[in-house]
Structure 1
């Protein structure tokens, strides 16, 4: 009996190591926390969602105050969250742009006293077309599962100077998340999130109620 146990021990050890590795990978994928901008599930083929671009500093609306209150800042200076939400809504087929969304949010008390966006109230713009689903810490599981089913997500990053910024994750290649940026990165094609030099601090996402006009393209 003892001899059999000795012979089986290497196999038991390998099995335990494999089990431990699998558990570690699962925890890394599902654990909600501040995330590296590169990780999660490996995407063997480049995935791109056809999320349109909005530039928060577009001359049409860059000087518009958030919530109609100058002290809150302007769309051009602090409107990345509004522009990111507008990009996602436009992807869902909703007729919107950052200016119109800001006007609407102004009318429904869509900003905090500090000028921060109430993400759930943004969905009131088209309540029959979009619903607010999540607003909390990120996990690779939440990001990857949304991308895999064709749903872009919005993440908060931190730029040099301790400035928070919101971008839309609209694709992935390998471990690299690909973003649409309403700020300084506007005009680029989808580019790796890691180029912003920040972890992923927070996650927001919506879901379309009627998504017939949204598009998914996978490039190989």
Structure 2
């Protein structure tokens, strides 16, 4: 009798309290083989190259090598490895970057461990898994997924300069500080921020900060 091959998994998360219990649960399932764990994308790459896992489950928000840069490397060097991203943040920017590297899953950290394991199982079987908060923002067409037009539309209306002003303003800089820093008139800064808020239909600084974080214009 032939034994069914176990799904080889590498877990990448800088929180040991998330990474280690999940590794133990997967190993106990019987159908998975956790062939490595790492606390950063940079530390994970040598493991992934060496062990060529079926699935890499990787946290988005980690120090060091940016996870999406690592994902591009994995795509190029380990084309059979499928990617699932794990994050406490559901931003259109992160979703777009995940889909850009052909991730087969995006799971929020608010999901139960059982749901995360279900995501790995579905991707291992050739499917895809997106948490509900993510699924509501994307369009799935056959084997391809993309950010919905509605999700793209607001951020896409900003010019490069408006986006830059929003980023500085959302970080807490006053308009005069922005003007002094990039050597333009305060009225020009005010003009760009006013235009951006009008386009986005945003009416307060607090709302603008929330938008900037959600869209990845400034880090959370």
TM-score by length of 1: 0.23
Q: Which is bigger in relative contact order (C-alpha 8 A, separation at least 6)?
A: 1
Structure ranking higher in strand proportion: 1
TM-score by length of 2: 0.23
